[in-house]
Amino acid sequence: MPLRLKTTPGSSVPIYRQIVEQIRAAISRGELASGDALPSVRAVAEDLVVNANTVAKAYGELVRAGDLVSEPGRGVFVAERKPQLTASERKRKLRAAVERVVAEAVSVGASRAELDAAIDAHCEHTGLLVEEDEDGLRTA
């Protein structure tokens, strides 16, 4: 299944960040595997009707973070799985991600209950961070 990206113009999340987050989510869901080629910057820019520099910025960030590798003349590919983070690094990254999500929730006037429900719904919809309880039922 080819990678399908979409953007929300006018969102408080910059377009390059939307692209970064969607690619990371596709990797975490297994839709993109190590070694898979990504569409060219030009192809993504044309598909999303955005400036190619916006896509290049997203790809560049993913390359710097180690999610993608760029092979000159060949293209951009999903990198091999990164080694596990240390507990402190994982906590630091999670804290930064939570700060961004909470700030966005506050900016749209969401309550804590709405934020919790949105996280649960997203996890259930994507199948990410869903666990089984003692009865074998999947819970977010």
The pLDDT of residue 112 is above 60: yes
Average of per-residue pLDDT values in the chain: 88
The residue among 132 and 36 whose pLDDT is bigger is 36
Concatenate the DSSP letters of all residues of 93-140 into one string.
HHHHHHHHHHHHHHHTT--HHHHHHHHHHHHHHHTTT-EE-TTS-EE-
Contact 34, 81 (CB under 8 A): yes
DSSP label of 75: E
Strands 138-139 and 75-78: unpaired
Residue 5 in any domain: the answer is no
Q: Six-digit token pair at 11?
A: 């969102």
Q: What confidence tens digit (pLDDT) does each residue in 37-87 have?
A: 999 999 999 999 999 999 999 999 999 989 999 999 999 999 997 667 788
For residue 48, the domain's CATH number is 1.10.10.10
Q: List the single range of 31-40, 46-55, 94-103, 116-125 with lowest mean pLDDT.
A: 116-125
Q: Is the pLDDT of residue 133 over 70?
A: no
Residue 4 lies in a domain: no
For residue 11, pLDDT beyond 90: no
pLDDT value, residue 3: 83
Q: Domain range for residue 105? A: 87-139
Domain count of the fold of the chain: 2
The whole model's pTM is what? 0.66
- Residues 67, 76: Cα–Cα separation, whole Å: 10
Q: Are residues 101 and 125 in the same domain?
A: yes
Q: Which residues pair with 37 in a beta bridge?
A: 77
Query: Last residue of some domain: 60, 78, 96?
Result: 78
Shortest CA distance to 8 belongs to which of 137, 29, 90, 18? Answer: 18
